[in-house]
Structure 1
């Protein structure tokens, strides 16, 4: 009977895929060393190669949008704080001690 399924972190997967790409050892040797089926290693390698281009994607537009959204939210919150401060001042000034 086999043991529980082993979970590999993304860092571990990346390190193992780099070992495959170096071609110093065969995929079957690495599979044996790490206790992984060869098909799993090949799938990780394929996935890594397919997603390699994502490393070079210019994500400044996404960051700029997030920054603008963040600044807009800050402005909204400052406006809300100002409104609440004004209401509190008015209530303190006009409260006569009666409870409704």
Structure 2
């Protein structure tokens, strides 16, 4: 019978990668402990190390700032539309 593909959370992958980096246990021991293939742990470890610089970057802050700016732009559009509608209604009443 075919084994189903398992999906792991980013937190789990990071935990396993950090344990592999600490080298308190061999990759084979970690693979046995977490029921993973040693190559999978090595891949996660390499990916973790390769992306370590992103932990110190401002990309997240920049993305949040862009989201805020986009939201403010949308709100200003809504305010403008409401102002046009209220001005039109005032003219109709007079």
Q: What is the TM-score with the length of structure 1 in the denominator?
A: 0.77
Partner SS state of residue 7, structure 1: coil
Shift of 1:78: 0.4
Larger Rg: 1
CA 1:4–1:11: 2 relative to 1, 3 Å: same
Please, which runs of 5 or more residues in structure 2 have no aligned partner?
A: none
- Whether 2:64 is the aligned partner of 1:33: answer no
Root-mean-square deviation (Å):
2.1
Separation in 1, partners of 2:27, 2:21: 9
Query: 1:64–1:22: structure 2 CA closer, same or farther, 3 Å change rule?
Result: same
Higher relative contact order (CA 8 A, sep 6+): 2
Aligned length: 93
